[in-house]
Amino acid sequence: MFQTNRTTCALFAGTWVRDDTYPLYQYSNCPVIDAEFNCQMSGRPDSGYLKYRWQPLNCQLPRFDGLVFLSKMRGKTVMFVGDSLGRNQFESLICMILAANPQTQTQMNRAMPLSTFKFLEYGVSISYFRAPFLVDVDVMQGKRIVKLDDIAGNGNAWRMADVLVFNTGHWWGHEGSLRGWDLIQSGGKYYQDMDRLVAMEKGLRTWANWVDSNVDITRTRVFFQSASPDHYNKRVQDALLRPHLATGPMSLTKSPNEWSAAATATTAKNCYGETEPMKGTTYTSTYADQMGVVNEVIREMHVPTYLMDITMLSELRKDGHPSIYRGDFSPSQRANPQKSADCSHWCLPGLPDTWNELFYTVLFY
Residues belonging to the active site = 84, 342, 345
- The answer to whether the beta carbons of residues 311 and 229 sit under 8 Å apart is yes
Cβ neighbors of 175 (< 8 A, separation 6 or more) are 240, 243
d(C-alpha 262, C-alpha 269), whole Å: 9
The candidate with the shortest Cα–Cα distance to 10, out of 59, 63, 64, is 59
DSSP 63: P
| Separation of alpha carbons 351 and 32, rounded Å | 17
Question: Which residue type, as a one-letter code, is found at position 358?
Answer: L
Cβ density class 16-52: b for 16+ within 10 Å, e for less: beeeeebbbbebeebebbbebbbbbebebeeeebbeb
Expressed in angstroms, the distance from the first to the final Cα of the chain is 23
Q: Read out DSSP for 146-162?
A: EETT--HHHHTTTTT-S
DSSP state of 236: -
Backbone angles phi, psi at 84, to 5 degrees: -70, -15
Please give the Cα distance from 241 to 41 (Å, whole number).
Answer: 35
d(CA 182, CA 283): 35
